[in-house]
Structure formats: C-alpha cells, structure tokens
Amino acid sequence: MSKLVLLSAGGTGGHLFPAEALAHELRHRGYRVHLVTDRRAQRFSAHFPADDIHVVPSATITSKNPIALARTGIALFRGLRESGRLMARLRPAIVVGFGGYPTLPPLMAATRAGIPAMIQEQNAVMGRANRFLAGRVDVIAGGFLAPGTGVHGDKIVTTGNPVRPDVLEAAATPYAPPAADEPFHLLVFGGSQGARFFSEILPKAVDLLPESLRARLRITQQARPEDEDAVKTHYRESGIEAEIAPFFDGMAKRMAQAHLVISRSGASTVSELSVIGRPAILVPFPHALDHDQAANAAALSEKGGARVIRQSEMTAEALASQLSDLSGQPEQLAAMARQARETGRPDAARLLADLVEELAGGGSPSKEREAQQ
C-alpha cells in the first residue's frame, strides 16, 4: 500500500488552498492523502483532493478572558487526544501543517509519536500557530521566509507557496495591456473586511475619474451581501459596466483576464498574482496581528510587481490618482506584470512535494534546495 501523507490546515482558504495544491501533486505521485482540519473547512471540502477528511476539535486564541481561554484550552486538549488516536490508527509517513490553530493538535500529536513533521508558512512573517510549532517540527517550508532568518532559521527551506492547478492554467495567459481606446478590466476583491472597505472607497474613486477612463472601465468586484445592491446601483447609475457579487467562481481565470487587480495582500493572493503575473494595487489589512499582509505586499512591491497603499492613506482621491496614472501607462502595467511574474514560484508544489518525500523516506532536506532553483 502506498504511503499516507496527513495534511493539516486551518479552515480558511488561505490555509487550505496551498494544502490543496500539495495534495494534487502528492496524489499524482501515488501517495494517499488525508486532511485533518476544523469544521470551517466544510465549504471547501468538496474540492479538496483527499482520500478522507478528519475534523478534530480546536479553537483559536482570540481573547484574554479567563473563561474564553479555559474553553480554548479544553478544545485544544480534546483535539490533541483525538489527534493522538488518529496518528495511532492511520500511521502516516509524515504530517504537514499549513498554519492556523487547528493544526496544533495534529502536529503536536505527530511530534509526540515520533512521526516526521513539517510546517509550511505562507507569509513573510510567521503566524502564531506556526511559531508555536516551529521548535517541534523537523522542517519549515517557507513561501517568503528566507533560510537562516529568525530563531529557527536553520530549519527553513524556501519553496514558495503552492498554487492550485487552475492558477497554473491561468498563468498560461500572457498579459496584454490595453490600448487607450480599449476596455480596461479591473478586478477588485478581498476578505470580508477588505470587501467592505473597497465597496466604500472604489465607487467614490470611480466618480472622480475622467469620463474617457470611466467609459473604458469594466469592473469585477467582490462585495459583501449587505453591500451588493448599493454598489451595483451606484455603478449602474454612473454608467459603469460592472459585475458585483459576494463570491466568484474561477478567480484564477478572472485574475488572468484583468489588466489591474486591487486587493488585500494575503499570502495566497500575492502568490497567485505572482505566478499569473498581473499588476496590482495592494492594500494590506491594517489590523493583522503580525502585520503579515504588509510584509507580503512589500515582498512583491520591492520587485516592482505591485504598488502598496496603506488603508489609512487610501482615500478616493488617492485611488483615483493611481487608476488614472496606471491606465494611461500600458508600458508600466506590462513592466509590473513582468516583474510580478519573475517573483512567482509556479513549481512550489513540486518543490514542497520533493521535501515531503525526503522527510517521509527518512532523508534530510537539502539546505541547498533554494540555491539550486
């Protein structure tokens, strides 16, 4: 029977999407893949390529309230016990964590049982759950982390962030900046908080644009259900062609069709923009505990692939100025797209799978992997 790889991820897209990409690669290589996560992942589970999905109790530490902390501790303890039984029953060759507090019980159970363990950190700044696990695991695979940095730098191997097959397919679409008389496709999206902010600021910015640019705009924008009607009405009354929805299928294809993207700067978003190669205006989420989105955005902007605006500085006037400037410089847009693509790691899933195979087979990960790529 083929070896079993147990993947563990928090129940959000940012944690699950790179796990999904690795699962596809491992199954292609003949491995069995199981996923252990929390209940939030059910909305993504239909598309996750796992032979089985296990839900274990977990909780996120979000409060200093003693009662809340006690409840969190009890949930994590229950999750650790269930994860221990899961390790004994499945006997995986390796356990790989992708961040989020739901990864704590499985990864701790794996290390206690002597099972090889690895975490993958998507962001340029390590998240809290991964920081807790870093001293216990064998290897830290970094999306943006550099080897030798931080307390556990000797464990870091840079692989990039795995992206799903639909992103790799979208990356085959070359970037073609629009001529001055052609439609300008603008894609705008973010999480719940990002969608709310963009729903407030973008319609105001569009009102400030010259009529010649407003006539060219083709907007695809994510909006919360409670904001959707207001945003649609505003664009319709302003004569702007726009598609507004709380959620879009086929985001990779939509990204490939865009001439410019406005978004938050989560690790998955930045990685997908880089692999597909699209210019972007990034607005990091300002309340992130570890300021990880600011670090992610900086990693891309330093290479010339994006412009970064702090949310506190993102006025309607500032955004209108950026849109007017970039839409009038197709050569600048093309350069940003090219520079974004040069930072992308389309082979990240393969590199991560190689690392998994080395550990699962009892080998030591090559510290020269980054330099050899």
The C-alpha atoms of residue 118 and residue 140 are separated, in whole angstroms, by: 6
Position 226 confidence tier, pLDDT thresholds 50, 70, 90: very high
Shortest CA distance to 118 belongs to which of 147, 96, 100?
A: 96
**Tens digits of residue pLDDT in 297-325:** 999 999 999 999 999 999 999 999 999 99
Residue 281 carries which side chain, given as an amino acid letter? I
Give the list of residues 6+ apart from residue 59 with CB closer than 8 angstroms, or none.
Answer: 71, 72, 75, 76, 101
pTM for the model stands at 0.87
**Using CA atoms, how far apart are residues 181 and 194, in angstroms rounded to an integer?**
31
Distance between CA atoms of 271 and 142, rounded to whole angstroms?
A: 12
pLDDT tens string 72-96: 778 888 889 999 999 999 999 999 9
Indicate the helix (H) or strand (E) that contains 176: none
Q: How far apart are CA 225 and CA 315, in angstroms?
A: 23
Indicate the SS3 state at residue 281. strand
Element containing residue 34 per DSSP (H, E): strand 32-37
Q: What is the pLDDT of residue 42?
A: 67
Query: What tokens were used for 372?
Result: 């050899």
Task: For residue 78, count other CB atoms closer than 10 A to its CB.
Answer: 15
Please give the Cα distance from 240 to 232 (Å, whole number): 9
* pLDDT winner (highest mean) among 14-18, 44-48, 174-178: 174-178
Rounded distance, CA 262 to CA 202, Å? 10
